């Protein structure tokens, strides 16, 4: 993708320096921020995809203590990985991360690839996660654009070119990564998007970009429509299918030595038929093993 000719006008070098200085003094002290090992970064980015960053940080510490290398994770039973994911939600990420570890061992000699295409080919690694890993772990000058970064750059550059189409946003994000500071820049934009430039009314008076930001200067255009921010799996409402899936998995997680557990009864306000449907759906996704017995449907974590 070619470099936008007006990248330096939209996101001036002085703004980048100010943002980096702000991050250096005010960045969130997340546990995984000190990690440079590509596997550790990959785990943190997968965890933070849909889970609040602070909570992901706590889980990341425990996860890395248990499986410190990609080979350790690849060799682990998937049931253990699913158990360790308890509380993070969106359990398919655990399954995908486990598969990614196996792919890295089998196809990349145990080294997380630094190539964007190879990263994106890993299970559970999309455009954003691949770029975040490439920038943070390998210092590649690529912009990781999630909802928060899209909002920050959109507001900074807004007025002349907003709302930016996805391709133009990616090109701008790639073009303005400060040389040699890809990791810090990636973290800094994430923290701006979670802090002063969060959804809703931005707190421009607390933002290091305000001297150059077109939104702050009043040259506002409406924010581009964006998908919801990263969803936090809690609180989850007992009436939802998501809640039910979580309870179904929790029951399997609690089984001693991976024993089969029965799912013939209602759970909460969900009738037995809905429980059955949830179990079969989770089994279809590879998150459970299910079997029919004379007593009814049973399931356990996959071995
Ligand atoms: S100055 Fe305001 S609108 Fe611009 S990036 Fe900072 S918080 Fe967001």
Using CA atoms of 263, 268, 273, 278 in order, give the dihedral in degrees to the nearest 10: -70
Q: What is the mean pLDDT of residues 82-104?
A: 95
Can 289 be counted among the known catalytic residues? no
pLDDT value for 219: 59
Check if the beta carbon of residue 157 is closer than 8 Å to that of residue 73: no
| Ligand 1 pocket check for 170: Cβ under 6 Å | no
Share of the chain above pLDDT 90, in %: 73
Q: What is the mean pLDDT of residues 268-297?
A: 92
What is the helix, strand, coil percentage profile of the chain, to 5?
A: 50, 5, 45
CA 12 to centroid of ligand 1, rounded, Å: 14
Query: Given 17, 45, 120, 292, which residue is catalytic?
Result: 45
Rounded CA separation 179/265 (Å)? 59
Rounded CA separation 24/99 (Å)? 35
Rounded CA separation 124/109 (Å)? 19
Asked if pLDDT for residue 64 goes beyond 60, the answer is: yes
pTM: 0.85
CATH class, domain 241-300, is: mainly alpha
Asked if pLDDT for residue 36 goes beyond 90, the answer is: no
Asked if pLDDT for residue 232 goes beyond 90, the answer is: no
Q: Which fold has domain 1-230?
A: Endonuclease III; domain 1 (1.10.340)
Helix orientation angle between 241-253 and 272-284, rounded to the nearest 10 degrees: 70
Query: Who has greater pLDDT, 237 or 262?
Result: 262
Check if the beta carbon of residue 16 is closer than 8 Å to that of residue 10: no
Look at residue 293 and give its three-state secondary structure.
Answer: strand
CA 213 to centroid of ligand 1, rounded, Å: 6
Q: Concatenate the DSSP letters of all residues of 179-217 into one string.
A: TT-HHHHHHHHHHHHHTTT-SSS--GGG-TTTTT-TTTT
Which residue CA neighbors atom 2 of ligand 1 most closely? 204
Q: What is the mean pLDDT of residues 203-219?
A: 91
Enumerate the domain spans of the chain: 1-230, 241-300
Average pLDDT of the residues of the chain:
90
Q: Which atom of ligand 1 is nearest to the CA of 204?
A: 2
pLDDT value for 161: 44
Q: What is the pLDDT of residues 113-162, one digit of tens each?
A: 999 999 999 999 999 999 999 999 999 999 999 999 999 999 998 854 45
Testing ligand 1's pocket by substitution, the residue of 216, 217, 223, 226 carrying the most ligand atoms inside 8 A of its CB is 216
Residue 138 CA to chain centroid, in angstroms? 18
Check if the beta carbon of residue 302 is closer than 8 Å to that of residue 286: yes
CA 133 to centroid of ligand 1, rounded, Å: 25
Q: What is the pLDDT of residues 71-87, one digit of tens each?
A: 999 999 999 999 999 98
pLDDT value for 221: 55
Q: What is the mean pLDDT of residues 266-285?
A: 92
pLDDT band at 236 (very low <50, low <70, confident <90, very high): low
Asked if pLDDT for residue 228 goes beyond 80, the answer is: no
Rounded CA separation 146/15 (Å)? 20
Which residue CA neighbors atom 1 of ligand 1 most closely? 210
Instruction: Tell whether the torsion through CA atoms of 159, 161, 165 and 167 is positive or negative.
Output: negative
| Ligand 1 pocket check for 57: Cβ under 6 Å | no
């Amino acid at each position: 993708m070619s470099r936008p000719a007006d990248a330096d006008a939209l996101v001036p070098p002085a703004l980048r320096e100010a943002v980096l200085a702000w991050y250096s003094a005010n960045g969130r002290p997340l546990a995984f921020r000190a990690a440079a090992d590509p596997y550790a970064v990959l785990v943190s980015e997968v965890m933070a995809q849909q889970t609040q960053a602070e909570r992901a940080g706590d889980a990341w510490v425990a996860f890395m203590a248990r499986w410190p290398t990609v080979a350790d994770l690849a060799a682990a039973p998937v049931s253990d990985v699913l158990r360790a994911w308890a509380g993070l939600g969106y359990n398919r990420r655990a399954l995908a991360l486990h598969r990614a570890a196996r792919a890295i061992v089998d196809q990349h000699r145990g080294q997380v690839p630094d190539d964007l295409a190879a990263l994106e080919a890993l299970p559970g690694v999309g455009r954003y996660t691949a770029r975040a890993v490439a920038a943070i772990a390998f210092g590649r000058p690529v912009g990781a654009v999630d909802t928060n970064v899209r909002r920050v750059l959109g507001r900074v550059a807004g007025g002349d070119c907003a709302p930016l189409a996805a391709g133009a946003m990616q090109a701008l994000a790639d073009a303005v990564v400060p040389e040699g500071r890809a990791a810090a820049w990636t973290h800094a934009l994430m923290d701006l998007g979670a802090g002063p430039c969060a959804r809703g009314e931005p707190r421009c008076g607390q933002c290091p970009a305000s001297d150059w930001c077109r939104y702050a200067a009043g040259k506002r255009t409406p924010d581009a429509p964006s998908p919801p921010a990263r969803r936090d799996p809690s609180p989850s409402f007992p009436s939802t299918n998501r809640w039910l899936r979580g309870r179904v998995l929790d029951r399997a997680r609690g089984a001693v030595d991976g024993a089969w557990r029965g799912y013939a009864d209602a759970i909460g306000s969900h009738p037995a038929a809905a429980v059955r449907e949830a179990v079969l759906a989770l089994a279809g996704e590879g998150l459970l093993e299910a079997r029919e017995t004379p007593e009814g449907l049973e399931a356990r974590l996959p071995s």
